[in-house]
Amino acid sequence: MINKQNKKLLNNSIIIFTFAIIAILNVSLLLKAHVIDGAWDLPFHWGRIYELVESFHDHVFLPHFNVNTMSQNGTAIMLLYPYITLLPFVIVLSFFKFTITLFYIFFSVIYFIGLLISFYSSKSISKNILTSYVFAILYCTSAIFMTFSFTNMDIGALLSFTYMPLVIFGFIHLMRDNHWTEMTIGVILLIFTHVLSVLLVASFVFVWLLTDLKATLKNKTRIKNIGKSVLVIVLTTSFLWIPAVVFLMTNTIKKPINFGMPSSLDLLSLIYTSVTNNITMSWGFSLFAVIGLVIAPLIFYRKFSPFIKKAYWVSFGFAIFSTGMFPWEQSLSKTPLSIIQFPWRLDMVPQLFFIYILSTCITKYIQPKLVYFYVPIVLVTSIVCQLSCQQQVITLASRSDCYELSRPMFKNDTYNKHYNSKFNEPFLNYKISKDSDLKNALDTPFPVNDYPDYYPKQSFIERENLSEDLGSYGLHTKKLKPLHNGTFKLLHKNHRTIHNFALPFVDYNGVKYQVYDDHHLVPSYKNNTCLLTLNRLSKGSKLIKVKIQPNRMYYVYYLLSLIGIIYFIYEIYRKKYRH
């Protein structure tokens, strides 16, 4: 006879095994096809990963500036776009060759982790294994996951979707039972991954708190635990946010483009684009989220618990706010809200809740005899829809206007001219079917006109020189070849001494640089267009190397983070000891 503990272990083993199978199924067709459909953000996000790989090889373990990828202009992308949760990718790629198979294995692992987080975090609220099991599968097989994985390849947003259940259900756990550790871990992971998602989740949590403000103010334990959570989060992540805030306060940079804040025409448009299960249109909700939004309340609203009702209406409010019923393009794009770039991003948390509501309805609110009839149908339908999304990616890569990426992309060079004139969007019309061509995506230089983010505003005047790796002096230029880790090779012999030679490398306030001319340290300064400039480039120079000096204050920030980690561990053990 199986005792209670063994039964629990068996159930968990079965759940984990089925999640592993589903995670493999989520990339199975793509693995078999052995092709990657090109996406605008692939060079950016995988470039961040390879920036870390190359930096590790140069013994720089937490880089703040790009000196290996994305044109190698020394931009502050690594400082302002968190990457801590990418480090497992970096460790693997430090030992294994990057291949298309490994590419999809990475995503399968992400899905597997997402399934586990979704299941165990929601179970603390649902108290029902089946509800959480259904939720985890519907959530992690949704078209939204496929869109962020393979249509635009936004790894930061994808990972934030993966960690979001831990934040949201952890927050609900805090509000219900004063348990704050789950939410704290989730928020830290989110900060380590994607700043914008932190702001979006924080806005949702803030609205939820407003609806429960009186009860919260009366609950001293809850306030105390919120305070502990905030303290741990602020301290633990201080090595990330303090340098970023100091940097932004001391530099005037180009902010990410807001794209005019396009939004859905109305709620019906949002619903229509979602039910198509089309990965090129699924930006707001997935199919099952729409069912949770529209059909579930029509049938089961009277059975909704107070928590489910609140989750529904707060989510509904955010869904409405993301549509064209509000003047996003006309007015709101000129406000601080423009930081979200696309209003449909407000649907991230509602997407989660609407799927959870549907999962609750089909596992708790229908007759027990029918549960085991409807649940398999729903889960099989979800997996079939996911396989359909994979097939859509393969179809996109099979288009006649898709070209093999046989060399690095550059939007204005001769390689892409016929694609520019014929298709107008060469960055969206490439595919990778050979392992060797993956490097071409990673080596793609980023034209400043197309990727102006985080450059000093004054440097935009020099965008052509920055984009084409041209050093300049007066009205003259010299072609340089970036060799990684801040090293540039002069392609043509320098026959005379050159004064005031501006490198295609940005110079930020508050950052210390050292420049070496053929291994000799030489004086340098920042010119009026924020480019790192050599006082004197000697005759016959072949190599120029830029080294960015670490700021000693960073050690203080690391110490603060260590204090936060130690305090968090102390609180966890103290809580465990009390119980």
pLDDT tens sequence across 36-92: 888 778 888 888 999 999 998 888 888 999 998 888 899 999 999 999 999 999 999
The β-bridge relationship of strands 430-432 and 403-404 is parallel
Crossing angle, helix 155-177 and helix 220-236, to 10 degrees? 150
The pLDDT value recorded for residue 420 is: 38
The pLDDT value recorded for residue 414 is: 40
Asked if 97 and 439 count as a contact pair (C-beta separation under 8 A), the reply is: no
Q: Measuring CA to CA, how many Å separate 451 from each of 77, 111, 460, 498?
A: 11, 29, 11, 30
The pLDDT value recorded for residue 447 is: 75
Does the reported pTM lie above 0.95?
no
The pLDDT value recorded for residue 410 is: 58
**Three-class secondary structure of residue 529 per DSSP:** coil
The pLDDT value recorded for residue 259 is: 61
Strand partners, 537: 498
The pLDDT value recorded for residue 402 is: 75
The pLDDT value recorded for residue 265 is: 57
Task: Characterize 217-226 residue by residue with b for buried, 16 or more Cβ atoms within 10 angstroms of its Cβ, and e for exposed.
Answer: eeeeebeebb
d(CA 165, CA 173): 11
The pLDDT value recorded for residue 133 is: 96
The pLDDT value recorded for residue 347 is: 85
Q: Measuring CA to CA, how many Å separate 311 from each of 204, 307, 352?
A: 10, 6, 10
The pLDDT value recorded for residue 263 is: 57
The pLDDT value recorded for residue 121 is: 95
The pLDDT value recorded for residue 490 is: 87
For the chain, list residues with pLDDT below 70: 1-2, 258-266, 281-283, 329-333, 409-428, 578-579
Burial of residue 37 (number of CB atoms within 10 Å: 0-12, 13-18, 19+):
buried
Report phi then psi at 474, rounded to 5: 65, -125
